[in-house]
């Protein structure tokens, strides 16, 4: 997992902590029209849909849908809130990494360990930035998946 700090500026995520990699916007806006805050909101980053290996659009995933991010026996539910380089997969926000016990430092954090991302189509929380709603929708989708 690589650390994504894009979105609203925070003490943990800014041009000074992330250098030129910092972008003040996310692909999905919160319900109030502002970008997500990577330091406080668990989200994942998927490659642009023109990725030659895997396209979220072809998989039926839409921006804002919920993902279960699994690392070292722990699950964190997050929303798909940003897109990244077409050749890279495996990014998540500072908040997602911190919740999973992964070093969230945007300049040298992350992990080379196994991280699993399970995305659930048609699970966008309302409002999209509500972590509580993301957890509820993610748990329901996961329960449905394992019951099949």
Query: pTM of the prediction?
Result: 0.94
Give the mean model confidence (pLDDT) for residues 89-112: 96
pLDDT for residue 108 is more than 90: yes
pLDDT one-digit tens code per residue, 40-98: 999 999 998 888 888 899 999 999 999 999 999 999 999 999 998 767 788 999 999 99
C-alpha–C-alpha distance, residues 73 and 109, integer Å: 19
3-state helix, strand, coil in the chain (%, to 5): 20, 25, 55
CB 79 within 8 Å of CB 67: yes
Say what the pLDDT of residue 50 is: 85
Residues β-bridged to residue 67: 78, 119
């Amino acid at each position: 997992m690589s650390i994504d700090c894009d979105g609203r500026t925070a003490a943990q995520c800014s041009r000074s902590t992330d250098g030129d990699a910092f972008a003040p916007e996310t692909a999905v806006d919160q319900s109030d029209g502002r970008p997500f805050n990577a330091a406080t909101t668990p989200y994942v980053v998927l490659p642009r849909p023109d990725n030659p290996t895997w396209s979220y659009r072809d998989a039926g995933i839409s921006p804002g849908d919920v993902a279960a991010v699994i690392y070292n026996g722990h699950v964190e539910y997050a929303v798909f809130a940003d897109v990244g380089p077409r050749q890279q997969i495996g990014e998540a926000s500072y908040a997602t990494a911190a919740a999973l016990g992964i070093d969230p430092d945007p300049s040298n954090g992350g992990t080379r360990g196994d991280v699993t991302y399970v995305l659930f189509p048609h699970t966008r929380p309302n409002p999209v930035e509500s972590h509580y709603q993301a957890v509820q929708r993610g748990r329901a989708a996961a329960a449905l998946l394992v019951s099949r």
